[in-house]
Each structure stands twice: as C-alpha cells, then as structure tokens.
Structure 1
C-alpha cells in the first residue's frame, strides 16, 4: 500500500477535519480513498484519531492549573 505519483495529493492537512467528520461528502470520499492507498497518511490518520479520542476524555478540571 503506497501512493503512486498519479494518485491524489497527500491529505495530511485534512486529517483533523476528517476525524471530526467535518468535511463535505466529496472531501470525505477523497480522504478515505487516499488512506486506503497511502501508508504514510494512514499512519498519520491513526495518530490524529488517537489524539482526538484522548482529548475527548479530558474534563475542564484537567485543563486548569
């Protein structure tokens, strides 16, 4: 699973919005298609998704000094 030069450009800048389901349908399909073919972006997606899940566990009290 690697990206050929003819494939869509890397989608790293869209991964945060993709994880938060904040992309329109066309962008969502583009990112999903790219992630199936690009190991690097797929690894970055996993890291962003994990960070998002961990942030969801924080409480307001956790953010205060």
Structure 2
C-alpha cells in the first residue's frame, strides 16, 4: 500500500503495522518521516506502541473464557 505522502498526509492507519515492524521499507520510511513532523500522529504512535507492549504482557489465563 504505497502512496504519495501528499495524497495521504497522516499515517494513523499504518501505525499498528509500524509498531509491529510489518511495513515494507518504503512505508516504514514514510511513517518515520511523518512522525517527526506531526505531533498528532506521534501521540497516536506512542499510544499504539504502549498498547502493543501491554498486550504482550498478557498471559492466556489472563484472558479467561
């Protein structure tokens, strides 16, 4: 899903994949560049990264049925 940054100025939809290192190199660079200049997306990135870390702490028994 490579797009011209001018077509889509924000990267929120890519943040989950970015946190999980699941983007192709071009998209990774695009998101990294954008995060350096957009406080709003940078805040969303921090929240996404924190959520990912918290989810990694869950154990199967924490989820219950």
**TM-score of the superposition, structure 2-length normalised?**
0.87
Regions of 4+ moved over 2 Å? none
> Which consecutive residues of structure 1, in runs of 5 or more, have no partner in the other structure?
1-5
Structure 2, unaligned stretches of length 5 or more? 1-5
Q: Work out the number of aligned pairs and report it.
A: 60
Higher normalized contact order (CA 8 Å, seq sep 6+, divided by chain length): 1
Q: Give me the whole-angstrom Cα distance separating, in 2, the residues matched to 1:22 and 1:61.
A: 27
RMSD: 1.5
Q: TM-score, normalised by structure 1?
A: 0.87
